[in-house]
Structure 1
């Protein structure tokens, strides 16, 4: 459970940094105070994790031949579409992630992946290993 929470916080921080770097990706909180902003980032990170695990895993299995043919470059498009899906799902709630367009989604997904990877490298020694 602690490992899940650490990954959730890492993804929320990566999402926050992505919104600072990529101008076409931003988060609309449900209230203007700082606690609501933090909870909104955590909720969007949770939705992103669910979408990435369920839909992303399914798409990666189905599109495996395309991954081989394009030498993995289709992953950029798939990740951008998954980020757009997260924006659509959070938009149904009335607050959350907003992506201005497809290419902003692709760029946001690239930046999000790089930042998540770097933060994961930093936090990795802290996370307990399962025995």
Structure 2
């Protein structure tokens, strides 16, 4: 999958999470449809970069606790990556706001994972 397609899939997954979880918000400085679409794409690109660069290192160091919890700690790792994305977006005109860690971030990552997996089934891979 190319980077642009991954960003679009992440943007749609983020949109679903923002729609379902009341404590997740993506705020743009300029209101309007174009600004909102760009906000979702920028936040999705940052989320994709965080998942590509930071997440493998965190998963490596947390491997023992992930094995002890039979993989359930991966949900916490994904929530922390979403929180890191939220912090990084404070430096852009578009901001991802997470109100509560335990409910909003974890519920948001579960929804993002499910929607990304389902959308990934419909997107043709570049390797085929």
The TM-score, its normalising length taken from structure 2, stands at 0.92
Structure 2 distance, partners of 1:128, 1:58, is: 26
In the comparison of the two structures, how many residue pairs are matched? 127
Corresponding residue for residue 9 of structure 2:
10
Corresponding residue for residue 81 of structure 2:
82
The TM-score, its normalising length taken from structure 1, stands at 0.90
Stretches of 4+ aligned residues off by more than 6 angstroms: none
Structure 1 distance, partners of 2:85, 2:126, is: 29
Corresponding residue for residue 54 of structure 2:
55
CA drift of 1:26 comes to: 1.1
Structure 1 distance, partners of 2:30, 2:118, is: 30
Highest relative contact order (Cα 8 Å, sep 6+), 1 or 2? 2
User: Would the aligned equivalents of 1:29 and 1:96 in 2 still touch at CA under 8 Å?
Assistant: yes
Corresponding residue for residue 117 of structure 1:
117
Q: What is the DSSP-based 3-state SS (H/G/I as helix, E as strand, rest coil) of the residue aligned with 1:27?
A: strand
Structure 2 distance, partners of 1:7, 1:95, is: 19
Structure 2 distance, partners of 1:53, 1:40, is: 20
Unaligned runs of 5+ residues in structure 1 are none
Structure 1 distance, partners of 2:50, 2:28, is: 20
Structure 2 distance, partners of 1:121, 1:99, is: 28
Q: What is the DSSP-based 3-state SS (H/G/I as helix, E as strand, rest coil) of the residue aligned with 1:18?
A: helix
User: Would the aligned equivalents of 2:43 and 2:96 in 1 still touch at CA under 8 Å?
Assistant: yes
CA drift of 1:129 comes to: 2.2
